[in-house]
Amino acid sequence: MENSSRVYLYDTTLRDGAQTQGVDFSAADKARIARALDALGLDYIEGGWPGANPTDDSFFSNPPDLGQARLAAFGMTRRAGRSANNDPGLNALFAHDAVSVVTMVGKSWDFQVTVALGIELDENLRMIGDSVAHARTRVSEVMLDAEHFFDGYKANPQYALAALRAALDNGARWAVLCDTNGGSLPHEVERIVSEVVAAGISGDRLGVHCHNDTDSAVANSLAAVKAGVRQVQGTINGLGERCGNANLVSIIPNLMLKMGFETGISEEGLKHLVAVSRTLDEVLDRKPNRSQPYVGASAFAHKGGLHVSAVAKDPACYEHVDPARVGNARQIVVSDQAGRSNIVARMADLGIEIESVKRDALVRVVEAMQVDFDPHEVADLVDLIKRLEHEGYAYDTAAASFELLVRRALGQVPDYFTLERYRVIDERRRNAKGDWVTLSEATVKVEVDGREFMQVGEGNGPVHAFDVALRAVLMGAYPELAGLELADYRVRIVESTAGTGAKTRVTIESTDGQGHRWTTVGVHTNVLEASLEALQDSIAYMLFRFREIR
C-alpha cells in the first residue's frame, strides 16, 4: 500500500519533557503550553500521566480548551498478574472526559521483560494486548509506545514485532517505535523501520519516538519517516529524559519545508514556531538558545563580512530557508569580523546612510569614551568598530550600544544627563544576630538641563547600589525609566596586559516591561566603570527610543 504524505505530530513536552532534570511544570504551565501547541496545529498533545502525581491529575481535571489537537493521557500497560479491568493504574487513564487518546508504554525488548519486569515473555504480550483491548472500550483512540523497540529489534526481531502486533491486532491505532535509550543511529533506524514495513506492518500505523543520547534524535526521526512511519513524537526545544527527546521545533520545518510532507500545521501556523519555542523558555525561565536551528536569534544572523556582502545581493547565498517562514528574522551583526557591508546593512536597518557619518563627528564621539587609541587615527566607522572590538567591546550582541554610537556620531542623541561624580562604599560587618552581612552604598550626582541632583542608593553589591542610585536620581526628570529593568548582567575578562591589568567587558540586557529588550556594553579595567558605561547606554537607549523615535 502506498503511504500517505500526511505526517501526524505528537507532542510529549508535558510528559517526557516533564522528565527533564530541573523541569517542574505546574498545572497552569501545562495548560499554557498546551494552548500554544494547539494553536500551532499539532495533532496530539500528551498532557501527562493521570494518577501518577497531583499536578497531572489537576491538569486533566481542568484541561485547557483545545481546537484541533487531541488530548492524550499517558500510562503503562496493566501490571503483571492483574486483569486490565482490575488495574487501578490503568483505569486512572480513563477517568477524565477530555481525554480521547490513551498512549500506553509497553515493553518490546525481551531483555527488559525478563530483567526489568521479571516476567515471562508471553505474559508481557498478553499485558499489551489486554490493556489495548480494554482501553479501546473506554476511549476512541489507543496507541502503544513500544519501549526500547530498536534495541529490542536488534536483540530479538521476532519478539519486538510480536509486541507491535499484540497492540495493533487488539485495536491500537498506532504502534510507536521508541528509541528509549537514544543509542541508535539514523542508518540503523532507517533499516529497521524498512524491515518492519516489509514484515507487513503499514507505515500509516507506525510512529517513532527518539531520545537524543547520541545527538541523533532529529535525524533518527526523519530517517524513520523516510522509511515509512507517519507519526512523529517529540518535544518543544528537545526537552526530555536525560539528553532529551527529538526536537519538534527542528523536525516540523524539516518535514514541511525540506521533505515536502503535510502536517496539521499550515504555512501560516508555521510562522508561530519561534513564538512557541520562546513560550516554553519563558515558562521555564530559561534563556533562549541563540544557536537553535530555525528559531534561535542567531539562526539567521550574518556576521562574516563575506556573508553579509553576498546576503545583500541574495539572502539565499547564506540562508537555507527564508527565516520568515518559521517566524524568525534576518539579523546583520556588527563585530570585528565585519566588512563595510555589515555596517552599511545595519545602518540601513536603522534608516541611516553610512556617508552621513563625518570623520570629525566620529572623533568627538571617541573622545568622550575612555579608549586606548588616538581618535584622530580613526579612518571611518568600520575602522572605529574594529578598533573598539579590539579594545574589548562586542557589538555583535550589544546592538543598542552600536545604534547609540552611530546616532551619536550623527548628533541625534541628546545628552540626557551628565554624571558629575559618584562614590561607592562597600561594607562587611556583623548584624545584631552576629551574622556577617555585606552592604553597598552609592552616592551619585548628575546634571540634567543645567540642574544638579544627588541620590544615595543601597544594594547587595557595588554595581547594584550604583544602579539603584542612578535610576533614583534620574527618575524625577525621566519618569518613563520606572519601567526599566535589568534582565541580565554579564562580566567577562577580555584582556590581560602587563601594567594595565585585566580589562572587563560588562554586557547588560534591559527590558522596559513592555516586551522590548536591548543590550548594551561597557569596557574598562575597573568593573564598576565598565558597568557604568553599559548602564548609561541602557538608560540613554531607552530614553532615545521613548522620546525621539516614538
Ligand X SMILES: CC(=O)SCCNC(=O)CCNC(=O)[C@H](O)C(C)(C)COP(=O)(O)OP(=O)(O)OC[C@H]1O[C@@H](n2cnc3c(N)ncnc32)[C@H](O)[C@@H]1OP(=O)(O)O
Interface with ligand CC(=O)C(=O)O (CB under 6 A)? 16, 105, 145, 147, 178, 180, 209, 211
| Residue 132 binds ligand X (CB under 6 A) | no
Residue among 276, 350, 348, 387 nearest 13 (CA): 276
Per partner kind, with CB cut-offs from 5 to 8 A, the member of ligand CC(=O)C(=O)O, ligand X, none near residue 366 is: none
The residues with which 452 forms a beta bridge, in sequence order, are 447
**Rounded distance between C-alpha atoms, residue 108 and residue 162, angstroms:** 8
Distance in Å, CB of 66 to ligand X, minimum: 23
Q: Which of 281, 222, 282 is nearest to 248 (CA)?
A: 222
Stretch that binds ligand X, among 100-108, 305-313, 483-491, 541-549 (CB under 6 A): 100-108
Residue 362, CA atoms < 13 Å, CB-side half-sphere: 21
Residue nearest to ligand X (CB): 52
209 binds, among ligand X, ligand CC(=O)C(=O)O, none (CB under 5 to 8 A by kind): ligand CC(=O)C(=O)O
Q: How far is CA 305 from CA 166, 300, 316, 341, 521, in A?
A: 59, 15, 16, 6, 22
Q: Which is nearer to ligand CC(=O)C(=O)O, 243 or 317 (CB)?
A: 243
Give the whole-angstrom CA distance, residue 204 versus residue 94: 25
User: Segment 180-209, which members bind ligand X (CB under 6 A)?
Assistant: 180
Which CB sits closer to ligand X, 180 or 331? 180
Query: Which of the choices ligand X, ligand CC(=O)C(=O)O, none does residue 77 contact, using the CB cut-off of 5 to 8 A by kind?
Result: ligand X
Phi/psi of residue 517, nearest 5 degrees: -130, 145
Beta carbon nearer to ligand X, 104 or 394: 104
**Residues 6+ away with beta carbon under 8 Å from 533:** 506, 521, 522, 523, 524
Alpha helix positions (H), 98-142 = 110-112, 121-136
Q: Which is closer to ligand CC(=O)C(=O)O, CB of 152 or CB of 327? A: 152
Candidate segments 103-111, 182-190, 379-387, 438-446, binder of ligand X by CB under 6 A: 103-111
Binding mask 33-72 for ligand X (x = CB under 6 A): ----------------x--xx-------------------
Nearer to ligand X by Cβ, of 106 and 238: the residue is 106
CB of 244 to ligand CC(=O)C(=O)O, least distance (A): 11
Nearest to 32 by CA among 256, 251, 236, 211: 236
Name the binder of 370 from ligand CC(=O)C(=O)O, ligand X, none, CB < 5-8 A by kind.
none
Indicate left, alpha or beta for 88 from its phi (over 0: left) and psi (-120 to 50: alpha).
Answer: alpha
Quickly tell me which residue has 518613563 as its cell: 480
Alpha carbons 139 and 74: distance in angstroms, whole number: 13
Cβ 19 to ligand CC(=O)C(=O)O shortest distance, Å: 8
With respect to ligand CC(=O)C(=O)O, which residue has the nearer C-beta, 77 or 328?
Answer: 77
Q: Which of 17, 41, 47, 106 binds ligand X (CB under 6 A)?
A: 106
Measured in residues, the chain has a length of 550
Q: Is residue 79 part of the contact set for ligand X (CB under 6 A)?
A: yes
For ligand X, the closer CB: 18 or 333: 18
Q: Segment near ligand X (CB under 6 A), from 105-113, 156-164, 266-274, 507-515? A: 105-113
Q: Whose CA is closest to 495, among 487, 486, 505? A: 505
- Which helix (H) or strand (E) segment holds residue 61: the answer is helix 54-61
Near ligand X in 378-417, by CB under 6 A: none
Q: Which is nearer to ligand CC(=O)C(=O)O, 211 or 524 (CB)?
A: 211
Question: Considering the rule CB under 6 A, would residue 151 count as an interface residue with ligand X?
Answer: no
From the list ligand X, ligand CC(=O)C(=O)O, none, partner contacted by residue 211 (C-beta under 5 to 8 A by kind): ligand CC(=O)C(=O)O
The residues in 109-128 that bind ligand X, with binding defined as CB under 6 A, are 116-117, 127
Integer Cα distance of 195 and 57 in angstroms: 39
Which residue, 180 or 504, is less far from ligand CC(=O)C(=O)O as judged by CB? Answer: 180
Task: Please pick, from the candidates 93, 105, 197, 357, the single residue that binds ligand X as defined by CB under 6 A.
Answer: 105
Residue 154 Cβ vs ligand X, minimum distance, rounded to whole Å: 18
Pair type for strands 436-448 and 418-430: antiparallel
CB-nearer residue toward ligand CC(=O)C(=O)O: 16 or 467: 16
Q: Phi then psi for 157, rounded to 5 degrees?
A: -60, -35
What does the alpha-carbon distance between residue 356 and residue 378 come to, in Å, rounded to a whole number? 16
Is 11 exposed, middle or buried (CB count within 10 Å of its CB: 0-12, 13-18, 19+)? buried
Q: In this structure, how many other beta carbons lie within 10 angstroms of the beta carbon of residue 445?
A: 16
Give the closest residue to 204 by CA, choosing from 240, 229, 225, 186. 229
Residue of the chain from 12, 20, 55, 77 that contacts ligand X (CB under 6 A): 77
* d(C-alpha 358, C-alpha 145), whole Å: 66
Cell numbers of 396, please? 555583535
Q: What cell was used for 473?
A: 536620581
Query: Minimum CB separation from ligand CC(=O)C(=O)O for residue 74, in Å?
Result: 8
> Residue 136 binds what, of ligand X, ligand CC(=O)C(=O)O, none (CB under 5 to 8 Å, by partner type)?
none
Burial 83-115 (b: 16+ CB within 10 A, else e): ebeebebbbbbbebebbebbbbbbbbbbebbee
**Minimum CB–partner distance for residue 151 and ligand X (Å):** 12
Total number of residues binding ligand X (CB under 6 A)? 17
Candidates 73-81, 157-165, 253-261, 425-433: pick the segment binding ligand X (CB under 6 A): 73-81
What residue ranges bind ligand X (CB under 6 A)? 16, 19, 49, 52-53, 76-77, 79, 105-107, 116-117, 127, 147, 180, 241
